[in-house]
Amino acid sequence: MSELNQIALKIVSNGKGILAADESTPSMDKKFNAIGVEPNPENRLKYREILFTSNGMKDYIGGVILFEETLNQISKSGLPIPQLIENQGTIIGIKVDTGLKKNPESPDENITSGFDGLEDRLKKSYEIGARFTKWRALIKISDKFPTEVAIKSNAIDLAKYASIVQNFNMVPIVEPEVLMEGDHDINQCYEITARLLSECFNQLKLQSVDLSGILLKPNMVVPGIDCQNQSSTNEIAKMTFNCLKDNVPSEVPGIAFLSGGQSEIESTRNLNEINKINDTNFIFTYSYGRALQQSALNYWGKNPDDINNIQKIFNHRAKMNSLSTSGKWAEDIDKINI
């Protein structure tokens, strides 16, 4: 077993998943403004430190993805954030893409940037303790889009990124996300997700990436938010499972979904259903941002000093998602008294 494979498995095994706490500063600004909190580095640290010191980290969070600012912050206790996370037994990851730009090959679509200075950033992040990384490519569905060229160029860049990261001895999370925005139906989401995944693995193989040393972070196959025909949990689970089974090579050690705008309960319910029908060796788990944090963040906005209950809310969400990795979650146990 290679070192990268071991790290990947440690992140997603034993009912653990990933906490995506890598929101960029503009995203955090929006979230803080919405709950009436002043957006600044101190408040971002305060909020994230509450999550990282929760008991739920030990049991349910195998890896946490950080934004560069957080990786370099010092906690209230005086411990650097990376050390505080390591003390929980959680592996540190870092977002290394730098957001979206216009795709030169298809100017009405996007491509992810981040190759400038990437090697330097990887070297520094490794020294501070990061052992995995993340790069997110976004694909939008509409009448005309995505174009073949957008799918291909994003897949090429994801593979190029993954290959560079493995040279630095870190596990690359490959995140090809088909967005939920739009009125497309679940069949369209299936078709685009399948094409995107298949092109990504095509490119990963062409660029000789060790597939046993990556983690895949895909979207679930769901109808667009504005679609008139919303789907049942059963349908979402079956289509997501089939799409991944047919397009992901078996060497990939873990598939950790993004929540993508689904509610906390929807993300848990869908993952639970996927794991109920999983008859493969794939590990299906979570790499949620919003779906792990939303309730805790809202409560923190109103009760910033009530650390116990903020952590209780986060621990509960993490535990519910952990149960869903073995199909043991049920709606009637998903209750919390605050």
At its nearest, how many Å lie between ligand 5MM and the CB of residue 290? 3
Query: Taking CB under 6 A as the rule, does residue 317 contact ligand 5MM?
Result: no
At its nearest, how many Å lie between ligand 5MM and the CB of residue 65? 6
Is 217 marked active-site?
yes
Ranges within 120-149 binding ligand 5MM (CB under 6 A): 136
- Angle of the 290-302 helix axis to the 307-324 helix axis, nearest 10: 160
In the complex with ligand 5MM, the residue whose CB is nearer, 70 or 203, is: 70
In the complex with ligand 5MM, the residue whose CB is nearer, 9 or 292, is: 292
Give how many residues touch ligand 5MM by CB under 6 A: 14
At its nearest, how many Å lie between ligand 5MM and the CB of residue 116? 17
Q: In the set 4, 188, 260, 275, which binds ligand 5MM (CB under 6 A)?
A: 260
Q: Name the segment binding ligand 5MM (CB under 6 A); options: 150-158, 185-193, 222-230, 254-262.
A: 254-262
Residue 17, classed as helix, strand or coil, is: strand
Is 238 marked active-site?
no
Query: Taking CB under 6 A as the rule, does residue 33 contact ligand 5MM?
Result: no
- Angle of the 290-302 helix axis to the 264-277 helix axis, nearest 10: 150
Query: Taking CB under 6 A as the rule, does residue 300 contact ligand 5MM?
Result: no
> Cα separation of 189 and 163, whole Å?
28
> Cα separation of 167 and 256, whole Å?
22
Give the DSSP letter string of 159-201: HHHHHHHHHTT-EEEEEEEE---SS--HHHHHHHHHHHHHHHH
Any idea what DSSP says for residue 90?
P
The sign of the torsion formed by the CA atoms of 30, 216, 92, 94 equals negative
Q: How many CA atoms lie within 13 A of 114 on its CB side?
A: 25
In the complex with ligand 5MM, the residue whose CB is nearer, 136 or 319, is: 136
For the chain, what is the radius of gyration of the CA atoms?
19
Ranges within 39-68 binding ligand 5MM (CB under 6 A): 65
Active-site option among 217, 264, 273, 319: 217
Q: In the set 14, 27, 187, 250, which binds ligand 5MM (CB under 6 A)?
A: 27
> Cα separation of 180 and 183, whole Å?
9
Structure tokens at 166: 């493995």
In the complex with ligand 5MM, the residue whose CB is nearer, 251 or 288, is: 288
Residue written as tokens 């490119």?
Answer: 203
Q: In the set 81, 137, 211, 258, which binds ligand 5MM (CB under 6 A)?
A: 258
**Whose CA is closest to 63, among 288, 294, 317, 284?**
288
Query: Taking CB under 6 A as the rule, does residue 264 contact ligand 5MM?
Result: no
Query: Taking CB under 6 A as the rule, does residue 32 contact ligand 5MM?
Result: no
Catalytic amino acids? 175, 217
Which residues of this chain interact with ligand 5MM, rule CB under 6 A?
Answer: 20, 22-24, 27, 65, 136, 258-260, 288-291
